[in-house]
Chain A
């Protein structure tokens, strides 16, 4: 904790030392921020030229077409409050994770509800689950990446989807 030390200094030399120490914490913060900043996906999913939002598109190489998930992502990203979306669909389910702009996070619950009902109206034959949780976003991102690059069987996809769905409703 270098910040509290500056009023106890005795001499100029000590003071110099503390200035050097003081720069340490912001530097650490900066480094950790920049490290988390450049975790971009490099598997050709990125589909937006606009830096304001983060859209990915999974090709239809996998066993189950991800067209519905792609469509859902495009629909929600039209909303101004949404800056990122990841989605995966199975034969009967649609799992969506969204990232909300910071200032709009005050209305997080309401937005989540609105988007869920919108998607439910649009995709009546799927069971829609929407989450704003960062963990779900990360998990779906990973699953999308696997669907894009590797062959994922239908059972495997169902299993993963159920696992992520369980995470959403995990309270404790």
Chain B
């Protein structure tokens, strides 16, 4: 058992030496820039909706998100979003476009297995956890806020 542990450690060290180093700072800068660009584009869309349609700053969020996901759908379908994700990493995953990409790419991938078991069953394989934890954390936060308001803290 002890020798096993030792070889394990040795192997880890060996692997660490051979591994190519990840350029963390560079990745961060790329993610920051591309994520920021996506958000600037989103801001442009909401400004457009405010100026030309009947949306206020309060409720312009919903159509903006829908439009962004629509554009992601097109980019994913034409295979452009993969390239963007390769370059930007988290920058393309954190905005809502990353969520759209997770849903749509899964839907495209499993299309061959049929609409019910393929697309329907696999569409939310990755995005399902996002929805689950999103809804659950929103529930917890709302609970905390309600309690704080009830107690008169907020």
Q: A1 within 8 Å of B by Cβ?
A: yes
- Whether the Cβ atoms of B84 and A4 lie closer than 8 Å is yes
Give the size range of B's interface with the partner: 20 to 34
Q: By DSSP majority rule, is chain A's interface helix, strand, loop, or mixed?
A: helix
Instruction: Kindly provide the distance from the CB of B17 to the nearest chain A CB, expressed in whole angstroms.
Output: 26
Contacts of B50 in A (CB 8 A): 134-135, 138
In chain B between 46 and 61, which residues have their CB closer than 8 angstroms to a CB of chain A?
47, 50-51, 54-60
From A3, A32, A136, A138, give the contact of B33 (CB < 8 A).
A3
Which residues from chain A sit less than 8 Å from chain B, CB to CB?
1, 3-5, 7, 25, 29, 32, 36, 133-136, 138, 167-168, 170-172
Q: How many A-B residue pairs have CB under 8 A?
A: 45
Q: By DSSP majority rule, is chain B's interface helix, strand, loop, or mixed?
A: helix
Q: B83 within 8 Å of A by Cβ?
A: yes
- Whether the Cβ atoms of A1 and B84 lie closer than 8 Å is yes
In chain B between 24 and 59, which residues have their CB closer than 8 angstroms to a CB of chain A?
33-34, 37, 40, 44, 47, 50-51, 54-59
Q: How far is the CA of A17 from the CA of B148 in the complex (A)?
A: 58
From B59, B80, B87, give the contact of A170 (CB < 8 A).
B59
Contacts of A138 in B (CB 8 A): 50-51
- Whether the Cβ atoms of B87 and A135 lie closer than 8 Å is no
A167's closest neighbor in chain B, by CB?
Answer: B56
Q: How far is the CA of A66 from the CA of B60 in the complex (A)?
A: 31
- Whether the Cβ atoms of B58 and A4 lie closer than 8 Å is no
Contacts of B59 in A (CB 8 A): 170-172
Q: How far is the CA of A92 from the CA of B37 in the complex (A)?
A: 46
- Whether the Cβ atoms of B58 and A32 lie closer than 8 Å is no
